[in-house]
Homo-oligomer: A and B are copies of this chain.
Amino acid sequence: MDFDKLLSRMQELRDLSGLVGLACWDQETYLPPKAEPARASQLATLQGLYHERLTDPALGALLDEAGASGNLTADQKAMVRVLRWERDRAVKVPTALVRALAEAQSQGVATWREARKKNDFTVFRPALERLLRIRREQGDALGHGGERYDALLEAYEPGMRVARLTPVLDALKQKLVPMVRTLTERPPPRPVFAGKRFDPDRQWRFCLKLLGDMGFDLDAGRLDKSVHPFTGGSHARDVRLTLRLDEKNPLPAIFGAIHEGGHGLFEQGYSEEHFRTPIAAAPSMGLHESQSRLWENVVGRGRAFWGHYFPALQAELPEGLGDVSPDEFYAAVNRVERSLIRVEADEVTYNLHIVLRYELELALIRGDLPLDQLPGEWNRRMGALVGVTPKDDLTGVLQDIHWAFGELGYFPTYALGNLYSASLWNAAKREVSGLEVGIGRGALLPLRDWLREKIHRQGFRTSAEERITAVTGHGLTDTDFVEYLKGKYSALYGVAL
| Chain A interface residues (CB < 8 Å from chain B) | 11-12, 15-16, 18-19, 22-23, 26, 30-35, 37-39, 41-42, 44-46, 49, 217-222, 224, 234-239, 275-276
Across the A-B interface, give the 4 residue pairs with the lowest CB-CB distance, nearest first. A35-B238, A38-B235, A15-B45, A34-B220
Q: Which of B11, B45, B218 contacts A41 (CB 8 A)?
A: B11
Residues of B within 8 A of A234 (CB): 35, 38-39, 42
Which partner residue on chain B sits nearest A31 by CB separation? B238
The residue on B at minimum CB distance from A268 is: B34
Partner of A237, one of B12, B26, B30, B34: B34
B276 touching A32 by the CB < 8 A rule?
A: no
Whether A276 contacts B41 by the Cβ 8 Å rule is: yes
27 sample A-B contacts, Cβ–Cβ < 8 Å, listed by A number: A11-B41, A15-B41, A15-B42, A15-B44, A15-B46, A16-B45, A16-B46, A16-B49, A19-B19, A22-B42, A26-B26, A30-B222, A30-B224, A32-B218, A34-B217, A34-B220, A35-B220, A35-B234, A35-B237, A37-B237, A38-B237, A38-B238, A38-B276, A39-B234, A39-B238, A41-B276, A42-B234
Distance in angstroms from A302 CB to nearest chain B CB is 30
* Closest beta carbon of chain B to A71's beta carbon, Å: 27
Name the residue on B nearest A239 (C-beta): B32
If the complex has contacts A34-B220, A221-B32, A222-B32, are A42 and B18 also in contact, measured as CB distance less than 8 A? Answer: yes
- CB of B46 within 8 A of CB of A19, answer yes
CA distance A222 to B276 in the complex (A): 31
C-alpha gap A465/B3 in the complex (Å): 52
Pairwise interchain contact A19-B42, C-beta atoms closer than 8 A: yes
Whether A45 contacts B11 in the complex (CB less than 8 A), given A22-B26, A23-B22, comes out as yes
Does A38 lie within 8 Å of B23, measured CB to CB? no
Contact (Cβ within 8 A) A12 B45: yes
* CB nearest neighbor in B for A235: B38
Expressed in whole angstroms, the Cα–Cα distance for A239 and B38 within the complex equals 12
For the complex, give the distance between the alpha carbons of A234 and B30 in Å. Answer: 12
A40 to chain B, nearest CB (A): 10
* Residues of B contacting A220 in the complex (Cβ-Cβ under 8 angstroms): 32, 34-35
What are the residues of chain B within 8 A of A235 when measuring CB–CB?
35, 38-39, 42
- A19 and B23 CA atoms in complex are apart in Å by 8
- Chain B residues in 8 Å Cβ range of A18: 38, 42
Assembled-state Cα–Cα distance A171/B213 (Å): 65
List 17 extra interface pairs beyond A22-B22, A32-B218, CB under 8 A. Answer: A11-B41, A11-B45, A12-B45, A16-B46, A19-B46, A30-B224, A32-B219, A32-B221, A32-B222, A33-B219, A34-B220, A35-B235, A37-B237, A38-B236, A39-B238, A42-B234, A42-B235
Using A26-B26, A49-B49, A234-B39 as known contacts, say yes or no to A34 and B219 having CB atoms under 8 A apart. Answer: yes
A46 to chain B, nearest CB (A): 6
